[in-house]
Structure 1
Amino acid sequence: MLQHWQAEAVRLREAHWGPLEDRAACQAALRLPADLQDRILARAAWLAEHGELHDRLVQWSIGARWALAALWLCACLAGIGTAAAVLGQGQVNLALALLGLLGLHALTFLIWLASWLPGLPDSTALSRLWLWLTRRLVRGPDAALAAQAFLSLLGRARAWKTAIGLISHGAWTAAFLGALPTLLLLLSARRYTFHWETTLLSPDAFVGATRALGALPGLLGFPAPGDAQIAASLGPQPLAAGVQADWSLWLIGCVVVWGLLPRLLALFACVVHLRQRLAGLTVDPGLPGWLDLRERLLPTHANLGIDRPAPAPGGAAGPVAPVVAVDGRAAVLAYELGPDLAWPLEGLPADVVDLGRCDSRADRARIRALLGAPPAHLLFVCDARLTPDRGAAAWLDELRRSCPDLRALCLGGTPPRLQAWQDILSQQAVARIPSLDGWLEHIGILRHD
């Protein structure tokens, strides 16, 4: 899940604040087999690890676990307090005791079951409280981004309702795990008398209710009082100690069977379903941000390898770029073009000097030497599929100061990437031309096809 979480966080960050510098990340991803999902995940993992986003996600995950533990601890303390309040000082009304221990639980459990019906809201008070506690525990840069990416991931996996159920059932399980030991401790240390109280209902109603509620606990060994003892519990006369013990075990059995066990089963089902949904996560290449990566991570042009044997050794290799001084009218320069983009440009006139590719610091030093006598016109050709960074901006500024007429030609790229290049070109006051023919027309040179 962490890989998909990182990928979603990177996607949202680029959607909010623009493309990241990912040249090295894409190069690392391209080393993997030609599978778009694996390459998107690899690119996101590289960006997360080198941009500290990975550490932010881990911090948010730890904070979310602590917030969940605090929420469940509070639920456990609430269960202890409810059990102590239900038993009171000695006289226990069984109807009120059941209502206090199981009433709210039954209502919220039914609401959770109904939440699976279409059209009902997905969030609950407990889930909102958990998110609020997490925001309090985890602050700083990218904290909100981590939460947004996590919720987006759960929504895309259709697991948000399951996650809400896990939070809710875990809290109720903790509450019952706090209430049951409290009931056992108080019932073992003090003497309580149990009775039914009613103004409208007949004794037969309590006999039927006791039998119905005690049927399943009886299968687990929790005894229930007989019919005569149930009817006697409606009267003012005190009952025998053995009958009070049966009522105590009946009450505990009802809490175990109708309270703890349903929550445990629902919690287990949520954990299993959540793991299955998250294990089936896949990358949707059609999402904004990932759609733009297809051409860069799965290029349509690939290097087919060596098509002829290497020449026999015997002489030094020729220079990769011209070594003559650039004192002519026009020159062209390739800036970090992808290997699938051919260079020099097709149809380049012979009287236009080719400065070659600029891919490293050594290339920049070589080009600076060639620009000792700068040309009147220079065309800066860039790969618009890559995101411009501060190094590109500094290089453009240096070229603009050396050459009187600097223009830029962007090859390939999606609208967001082209806009990023347009922004940096505007900042450097460099005009962008649409094609090589347009530049040649601008400088007054005819193209020779």
Structure 2
Amino acid sequence: MWNRPAAADARAASPLLQHWQAEAIRLREAHWGPLEDRAACQAALRRPPDLQERILARAAWLVEHGELHDRLVQWAVGARWALAALWLCACLAGIGTAAAVLGQGQVNLALALLGLLGLHALTFLIWLAGWLPGLPDSTALSRLWLWLTRRLVRGPDAALAAQAFLSLLGRARAWKTAIGLISHGAWTAAFLGAVPTLIVLLSTRRYTFHWETTLLSPEAFVGATRALGHLPGLLGFPAPDDVQIAASLGAQPLAAGVQADWSLWLIGCIVVWGLLPRLLALSACILLLRRRRARLAVDPSLPGWLDLRERLLPTHASLGIDRPAPAAATAASPAAPAAAEDGRAAVLAYELGPDLAWPPAGLPAGVADLGRCDSREDRARIRALLRAPPAHLLFVCDARLTPDRGAAAWLDELRRSCPDLRALCLGGTPQRVQAWQDTLTQQSVPRIPSLNGWLEYIGSPRHD
């Protein structure tokens, strides 16, 4: 199982994770309806009165108390593995390309440069052109990375995690930068595989280098060699002189020293015109991505967040106390029955039908009755009573009704508040009872067959 972050660590989460969680919750509610978030909103209202911070706090609470955190972690791990696999394949491709262009001994310099730098130069220019407005925001490598991630991460909410991540990067104008990181990382890995392969093969085998042409003149190759070898020469890579370049156009074998110069010239061209541009572009993408990530912000006007403004920044919150409340009002506040003061045990009815009498007859004096829970006001009253939770709590539900997300969320909240929560299902068809059983199993809440069985359970000496 993936480790779930503790509530105390919510503030320590990275900004990217916080906004990713918020975007995932927003999309989930947009697709499947609002979540039961009363406890999440109460936790958010304890934060400073800033809408963005409270939206992030609400999302962090919902993710922490649900299953979405595991999906986000799984998708993040799968995305990293997919990226590592993609870069490993690129490295192996670079090794294979370097070995292929050298061949068996006769190296055509023009074809070697074309094989090692041709596709790189083309894709690099395409990436530069991709910053122009109106061009697609995806490449073959980025689509392959997403495809590999989908193959590695399956199950519920996997697509939601990917959609939230891409939506977040797109809104922050960081998706093109992320595409550049994927692409430049792959090409860097390819050149990191190709350059050592060239060095090893050129150091252990004998190769002869030459230019071949039918249409071009020798002066064209002299100019090309000088132009390509200028920057490598500044880094210490030697370049053949004009005589040696002209001699390479002939059929006569060259001296060993000339062949060594051609070898170093070829390696210098790959390093300067291939590896270094990709390293610089990769570094630029990393820096830009970090800058864009630091500027992530919540847009309250987006659907899903617009409706939260009144709940997370209530207009009455800034009005203060108008006048002291009447003294008689304090007597109307709900209080637990006297039997609940010892914290022994309590029962709670959840949305029981009007034909089901409550409280049940014969309830012992030591068991507190928390009443019915049929509305948000009832939940608020019960939360107040559970600030000092009983040692044992019985959740009584009407199994004629189908459990929904609200019931599951309420069970989860009760389970976290009470050390020993058990459930009793009244009535219902076998299908409905099984639906409740599935919900109880998902929330790790044991089901008991009868009220008397629960009373015997809490009355046994080992549970005193």
Alignment match of 1:287 (pick from 281, 288, 302): 302
Residue aligned with 1:360, SS: helix
- The one-letter code matched in structure 2 to 1:181 is P
Residue aligned with 1:301, SS: helix
The match for 1:140 is 155
TM-score, normalised to structure 2, is: 0.69
Question: Are 1:336 and 2:376 counterparts?
Answer: yes
* Superposed CA offset, 1:153-181 (max 9, x none): 01000011111110000000000000000
Distance in 1 of aligned mates of 2:248 and 2:284: 39
Residue aligned with 1:318, SS: helix
In 1, are the aligned partners of 2:101 and 2:115 still within 8 Å (CA)? Answer: yes
Distance in 2 of aligned mates of 1:209 and 1:267: 28
In 1, are the aligned partners of 2:238 and 2:265 still within 8 Å (CA)? Answer: yes
How far 1:360 moved relative to its partner?
3.2
Total equivalences in the alignment:
340
Distance 1:299 1:202, change over 3 A: same
Question: Are 1:74 and 2:114 counterparts?
Answer: no
Q: CA RMSD in A?
A: 2.7
| Runs of 4+ residues deviating >3 angstroms | 305-311, 317-322, 333-337, 357-364, 390-394
The match for 1:328 is none
Residue aligned with 1:92, SS: strand
In 1, are the aligned partners of 2:83 and 2:145 still within 8 Å (CA)? Answer: yes
Q: Structure 2, unaligned stretches of length 5 or more?
A: 1-15, 336-372, 386-403, 412-464
Question: Are 1:110 and 2:125 counterparts?
Answer: yes
Distance 1:49 1:226, change over 3 A: same
Within 5 A, what are the aligned runs for 1:417-432?
Answer: none
How far 1:359 moved relative to its partner?
3.3
Question: Are 1:50 and 2:65 counterparts?
Answer: yes
Distance in 2 of aligned mates of 1:128 and 1:176: 22
Question: Are 1:164 and 2:185 counterparts?
Answer: no
Residue aligned with 2:43, SS: helix
Alignment match of 1:359 (pick from 348, 370, 380): 380
How far 1:304 moved relative to its partner?
2.6
Residue aligned with 2:285, SS: helix
The match for 1:304 is 320
Question: Are 1:85 and 2:100 counterparts?
Answer: yes
Distance in 1 of aligned mates of 2:292 and 2:137: 17
Distance in 1 of aligned mates of 2:157 and 2:130: 31
Higher Rg of the two aligned structures: 1
Distance in 1 of aligned mates of 2:113 and 2:204: 21
In 2, are the aligned partners of 1:123 and 1:164 still within 8 Å (CA)? Answer: yes
Q: Structure 1, unaligned stretches of length 5 or more?
A: 323-332, 338-356, 365-386, 395-449
* Superposed CA offset, 1:97-145 (max 9, x none): 0000000000000000011111111110000000000001111111000
Question: Are 1:318 and 2:331 counterparts?
Answer: yes
Question: Are 1:184 and 2:199 counterparts?
Answer: yes
In 1, are the aligned partners of 2:36 and 2:409 still within 8 Å (CA)? Answer: no
In 2, are the aligned partners of 1:75 and 1:171 still within 8 Å (CA)? Answer: yes
The match for 1:390 is 407
Distance in 2 of aligned mates of 1:358 and 1:233: 88
Distance in 2 of aligned mates of 1:176 and 1:149: 33
- The one-letter code matched in structure 1 to 2:320 is L
How far 1:231 moved relative to its partner?
0.1
* Superposed CA offset, 1:214-260 (max 9, x none): 00000000000000000000000000000000000000000000000
Distance 1:363 1:131, change over 3 A: closer
In 1, are the aligned partners of 2:116 and 2:270 still within 8 Å (CA)? Answer: yes
- The one-letter code matched in structure 2 to 1:19 is P
Question: Are 1:211 and 2:232 counterparts?
Answer: no
* Superposed CA offset, 1:334-377 (max 9, x none): 9435xxxxxxxxxxxxxxxxxxx77334999xxxxxxxxxxxxx
How far 1:306 moved relative to its partner?
8.8
- The one-letter code matched in structure 1 to 2:380 is D
In 2, are the aligned partners of 1:176 and 1:259 still within 8 Å (CA)? Answer: yes
In 2, are the aligned partners of 1:49 and 1:55 still within 8 Å (CA)? Answer: no
Residue aligned with 1:246, SS: helix
- The one-letter code matched in structure 1 to 2:305 is W
Report sequence identity in percent: 81
- The one-letter code matched in structure 2 to 1:318 is A
How far 1:390 moved relative to its partner?
3.3
Distance in 1 of aligned mates of 2:25 and 2:226: 59
Residue aligned with 1:359, SS: helix
Question: Are 1:153 and 2:193 counterparts?
Answer: no
* Superposed CA offset, 1:37-86 (max 9, x none): 00000000000110121121111101000000000000000000000000
TM-score, normalised to structure 1, is: 0.72
- The one-letter code matched in structure 1 to 2:68 is L
Within 5 A, what are the aligned runs for 1:365-376?
Answer: none
In 1, are the aligned partners of 2:210 and 2:249 still within 8 Å (CA)? Answer: yes
The match for 2:273 is 258
Residue aligned with 2:315, SS: coil
How far 1:393 moved relative to its partner?
11
* Superposed CA offset, 1:357-413 (max 9, x none): 77334999xxxxxxxxxxxxxxxxxxxxxx99339999xxxxxxxxxxxxxxxxxxx
Question: Are 1:11 and 2:26 counterparts?
Answer: yes
How far 1:278 moved relative to its partner?
1.1
In 1, are the aligned partners of 2:334 and 2:381 still within 8 Å (CA)? Answer: no
Alignment match of 1:220 (pick from 235, 240, 246): 235
